[in-house]
Amino acid sequence: MKFAMILAFVLAPGLAMAPAFAAAAEKPADKAPSTELGNIKLPYELPNRHMGVSTCSSTVCHGSVKSNGNYNVQLNEYITWSHQDSHAKAYTVLLNERSRNIAAKLGIPEASKAKICLDCHADNVPENMRGREFNLSDGVGCEACHGGAKNLQVVNRDVHDLAFLELKPDGNVLFDSSVQPPKVVETPQPNNEFLNVGFANISYLGQIYGNLFGPRFNATVSLPQYRYRFYKDKKRKIKDVDLPPIPQTVSGNPFDLQAKLDENGAPIVGPNLLPQAFSTDPGRAVITGSPHDFEAFDVPALRGIANTAPYFHDNSTETLRDAVDLYSRFILPFFTMLNLPANNPPEPGSFFPEALTPEQKADLLEFLQVL
C-alpha cells in the first residue's frame, strides 16, 4: 500500500482522478499558521477558490436525494440547503420591494449590487477567488461558511511546466536546436493551476484508431472534430495561432503518428508532441483564450472516485482499472521527472510496455477504492 499512497495524487481531465503528474505537482494549499487561538483562521477566511454550490450538487458528492449513513456526512446537504434552508434565498430577497425600499432609504441604488448588502446576503468573495460556476445569486451557499472547495495548488512547477510548451506562429512546438537531440522549449506558468497530461490526445487517437490503445466506454460515440483559432486581441482581428497545427508526417498521411523532422532534426509537432489532425476538446483554452491552455484541464478531487465512473473528460474509460492502465502505458512514462519509465513488459492482451508493475497497479487500485 505504500506505493499506492505515493501514487494517490498521480491519478485523477475529467476522470474524477487528478491528471497524471499531479503526484509531484499538487498538494492542498497551506493554511495560515496559527500559534495562538486568535490567529486561527476560519474556513471562509482561507484563500481557497470558491467554486459555487453547483459543484457540490453531484449525487456522489452532496446532492444525494437520500441521506447516507455510511459516511461522516449525509451526502444530501445540497438538497437540504436548496429546498429547506433560507440561506439559499438570501440573494433573491435583495430583489423584492421591501429590500428596494430599505436600499432607497440608505441611499443605495441597487441592493443586489451593493457590497454592504452582498456581504450578508451572498458569498461575496473577491472576483479572483470565484470559480467558473460561482454565482452570487446562489445566496449564502456551502462555501460561505465551510470555505472554498478548491484548495489545490501546484507546488512543483518543473513538473507542471513540462506540458506547457512554447509555440511557433504555425502552432508547432519550438525546439532548442543548440543541443542534440533538440529539446522542447517550455513556457513557465507561475499562476496556472490547470494541468495538461495529454489525455485529450489519447481521446483523439481513440477516434482514429478505435480500441488500439485500450477499451473505450464511449466507442459508439463520434466526438467533435475541431481546429481552433486563437487571437491576440479581444476583437478577434489579430490572429495568434491555429491549434492543432496541420500534421506534417513522414508518409504524408495526416493520421500517421511518425512526425516529419525539420532541418535541425526536431520533430514538427503541436503541443501534444504527436501529429494531430483535430481536437475533441480544447480544455481550459475555451475559457482563457490562451493557446498555452490548449487541452489543459482542471483537477477534480479523488474522494469517492470509485463511485464516479466513467472516467476522463470524454467518459472513455469504464473502470478504474482501465484508467490506471492508460496512465501506466501512455502518460506516466512521458513525464520523466516522475521517474516512472515504461520498463515493465506488456500485460496479457496489450502491446504496450508499462510504467507500473502488476503489484503496483493492484496496490493503487486498492487505495483508490477506499477513498
Tens-place pLDDT, residues 287-316: 889 999 999 987 777 777 887 888 888 889
Look at residues 177, 230, 209 and name the one whose alpha carbon lies nearest to residue 274.
209
More confident residue, 79 or 59: 79
Segment 81-88 mean pLDDT: 94
Q: What are phi and psi of 279, to 5 degrees?
A: -120, 145
Q: Rounded CA gap, 105 and 102, in Å?
A: 5
Question: Is the preceding omega at residue 291 within 30 degrees of 0, hence cis?
Answer: no
Write down the pLDDT at residue 36. Answer: 47
Q: What angle do CA 51, 56, 58 make, to 5 degrees?
A: 135
Instruction: Give the type of residue at 28.
Output: P
Q: Rounded CA gap, 297 and 284, in Å?
A: 6
What percentage of the chain exceeds 90 in pLDDT?
55
Q: How far is CA 31 from CA 24, 47, 131, 152, 230, in A?
A: 20, 8, 19, 11, 37
Q: Rounded CA gap, 361 and 317, in Å?
A: 16
Q: Assess whether pLDDT exceeds 50 at residue 154.
A: yes
Q: Assess whether pLDDT exceeds 70 at residue 215.
A: yes
Residue with cell 535541425: 264
Contact by Cβ (8 Å): 175, 143: no
User: How confident is the prediction for the chain on average, in pLDDT?
Assistant: 84
Look at residues 52, 79, 82 and name the one whose alpha carbon lies nearest to residue 63.
79
More confident residue, 2 or 278: 278
Confidence band for 362, pLDDT divided at 50, 70 and 90? very high
Write down the pLDDT at residue 71. Answer: 66
Residue 79 makes CB contacts below 8 A (sequence gap 6+) with: 63, 64, 65
> How deeply is 257 buried, as exposed, middle or buried, from its count of CB atoms within 10 A (0-12, 13-18, 19+)?
middle
pTM of this prediction? 0.67
Look at residues 330, 331, 329, 332 and name the one whose alpha carbon lies nearest to residue 345.
329
Segment 242-250 mean pLDDT: 96
Contact by Cβ (8 Å): 316, 216: yes
Q: What share of the chain is helix, strand, coil (3-state, %, to 5)?
A: 35, 10, 55
Which tens digit of pLDDT belongs to each residue from 23-58? 334 444 444 444 444 566 777 777 788 989 988 887
Confidence band for 88, pLDDT divided at 50, 70 and 90? very high
Write down the pLDDT at residue 3. Answer: 39
Contact by Cβ (8 Å): 121, 93: yes
Write down the pLDDT at residue 39. Answer: 66
Write down the pLDDT at residue 68. Answer: 75
Query: Residue 111 is placed in which grid cell?
Result: 441592493
Write down the pLDDT at residue 40. Answer: 67
First to last CA, the chain: 13
Write down the pLDDT at residue 5. Answer: 34
